[in-house]
Structure 1
């Protein structure tokens, strides 16, 4: 089978690998589509501290179960599935309290174990979620990125009367817009970014107002509006301090970032307004929730997709994703 392997940072190859065989509790998936995430590029470039090399990358993928492990229900053969990349132990403290995404022995498919940029991939049977016919093959890998928005909004508990501000109109920011508008009915969603093309995408995905802060500070443009809910989907260390300064008293702030750079903020900036600060990593059993949202038409994943490439052109696809944020959003890989 053909697989995209990062042999070491900077070295991407399309390799011939043996067909994997599912172990107990696993299924094998014939992958049909996968989508590129920024973390895939970070693994390629050597900027993901969690990655282990060599690695078949890809944690957003969809396919059909074509083999099962010795103790797995054979009736699952032929099921169309989206794969949750979060693999947890099930018994540590985070797992026991429903937070497997921060399991003490967490493994992520496509990061710690081989992923879905391949003609075939393995996954725990419990991580392969059946899809209804209403979710089309070419969009099914996008369940995973929407689970990121589902996870942070579960903490933030948006209300229709919230004034929501999203930093960043990349794929994570756009999924957050759609979830706030389509699922929670938030009436005012504001989005800030430095690229006009991304702000146009934000409007197409439901943003009510957009702001370009490349030259004029956001505070000057908000004209006194105090957001009650803020999501940082841009992940720059300077954002938290600005968000706290702009936020309404009693507001909630959600962080999606993984920057290793320090950020400077005082306790007073948070406690004087009694701000609630939430962090979110990956997703915690959100696949069924997002699949239901797709089935009900509450979110529109097709609005994120800008490009399709065959698996053989993964390097070209990832380079485009990395270098052309103005015209590129979600890039899809087709296996056959």
Structure 2
């Protein structure tokens, strides 16, 4: 079978290997499509501190079940599967308390272990939620990043709140959409990119704002007037923006960190303490978040038109990843088809 490998930074190659065996309790998937996430770009560029080369990339994937192992009852051959790619140990403190997304032995496919960049992939059935065969693959491939948005909105307890989402890329857009679907009073999303802000407008986000030349405090004032944002959700993870987020946060408001920071930032602890700010970490999603994301997609409540900005065959892996890196400021989603 064909398998993608990143042997070193900025290099992608196609290899051949034997297909995996389908073990007890597992499902063997024939992969149909994978999506490129910001994490994949970090991995490809050698800037993700949680992985080592060589690595088989990708954690966003849609496949068809072609074999099911012993004792698998929830999946049958022919089902369309949207892989839930965060593997948990189920034994550590977070797992035992219902936070498998924050497992002490956190394992994201394509980062800590080999990912979905293979023609066939075997995985435990618990990570194989089914999606409706009526849902187009170009929509189903977006379920996983939308689940991130659902979890972030829930972390921020956005219902009835004024929410500012920083960053209007795929994750930022989906966080903003999830916040609106989960009952936020007002949602603003900002970005330097006019194209991404226009996409937010198309997606029905109430307050899309181009932030070029503005501080985040000015963006918040433009969005909400004299009333502050109750919740700020950081979907960028950029060191130069961190202090701006801190300055834009009103006393007692909540900040949710979604973006992956590739370098450490200096933190003014007194500003957090004296303003009684709530700073919340955020990592991936729970099983319930993922199932909610599937339901909202199947109910056609998520705007996904024009989200796929680049499409390649899996044999074009080097060209596609180079394009994803070069166009990351403007791309929404790059996908590879098998």
Instruction: Name the counterpart of 1:179.
Output: 178
The 3-state SS of whatever aligns with 1:159 is: coil
Instruction: Name the counterpart of 1:87.
Output: 87
Instruction: Name the counterpart of 1:104.
Output: 104
Instruction: Name the counterpart of 1:247.
Output: 249
Displacement, 1:327? Answer: 4.3
**CA deviation vs aligned residue, 1:189-215 (integer Å, no higher than 9, x gap):** 222222222221222222333333332
CA distance in 2, matches of 1:174, 1:129: 23
Question: Cα RMSD between the aligned structures?
Answer: 2.0
Displacement, 1:167? Answer: 0.9
* Stretch moving more, 261-270 or 194-203: 261-270
Choose which of 310, 314, 319 in structure 1 pairs with 2:317.
Answer: 314
CA distance in 1, matches of 2:285, 2:216: 30
Instruction: Name the counterpart of 1:268.
Output: 270
- TM-score (norm. length: structure 1): 0.92
Unaligned segments of structure 1, at least 5 residues: none
Instruction: Name the counterpart of 2:295.
Output: 292
* Stretch moving more, 55-64 or 71-80: 71-80
CA distance in 2, matches of 1:135, 1:185: 25
Displacement, 1:73? Answer: 4.1
CA distance in 2, matches of 1:112, 1:265: 28
Matches within 5 A, 1:316-331: 316-325=319-328, 327-331=330-334
CA distance in 2, matches of 1:309, 1:10: 17
In structure 2, relative to structure 1, the CA distance for the partners of 1:75 and 1:10 (3 Å cut) is closer
CA distance in 1, matches of 2:209, 2:27: 46
* Stretch moving more, 302-311 or 247-256: 302-311
Aligned 8 A contact 1:152 1:279 in 2: no
Instruction: Name the counterpart of 1:41.
Output: 41
In structure 2, relative to structure 1, the CA distance for the partners of 1:320 and 1:6 (3 Å cut) is same
Aligned 8 A contact 2:150 2:179 in 1: no
Displacement, 1:131? Answer: 0.9
Aligned 8 A contact 1:66 1:78 in 2: yes
- TM-score (norm. length: structure 2): 0.91
Aligned 8 A contact 1:56 1:117 in 2: yes
2:284 corresponds to 1:282: yes
Unaligned segments of structure 2, at least 5 residues: none
The 3-state SS of whatever aligns with 2:65 is: strand
Choose which of 197, 200, 213 in structure 2 pairs with 1:199.
Answer: 197
2:228 corresponds to 1:226: yes
Displacement, 1:273? Answer: 2.9
Aligned 8 A contact 1:177 1:206 in 2: no
Aligned 8 A contact 2:49 2:262 in 1: no
In structure 2, relative to structure 1, the CA distance for the partners of 1:262 and 1:325 (3 Å cut) is closer
Matches within 5 A, 1:159-170: 159-160=159-160, 162-170=161-169
Aligned 8 A contact 1:238 1:264 in 2: no
CA distance in 1, matches of 2:145, 2:258: 12
Displacement, 1:158? Answer: 0.8
Displacement, 1:32? Answer: 0.9
In structure 2, relative to structure 1, the CA distance for the partners of 1:185 and 1:37 (3 Å cut) is same
CA distance in 1, matches of 2:74, 2:204: 42
**CA deviation vs aligned residue, 1:147-177 (integer Å, no higher than 9, x gap):** 11111112111123x2211111111111111
Aligned 8 A contact 1:237 1:259 in 2: yes
The 3-state SS of whatever aligns with 2:141 is: helix
Displacement, 1:225? Answer: 4.6
Displacement, 1:139? Answer: 1.9
* Stretch moving more, 19-28 or 86-95: 19-28
2:149 corresponds to 1:127: no
CA distance in 1, matches of 2:45, 2:240: 24
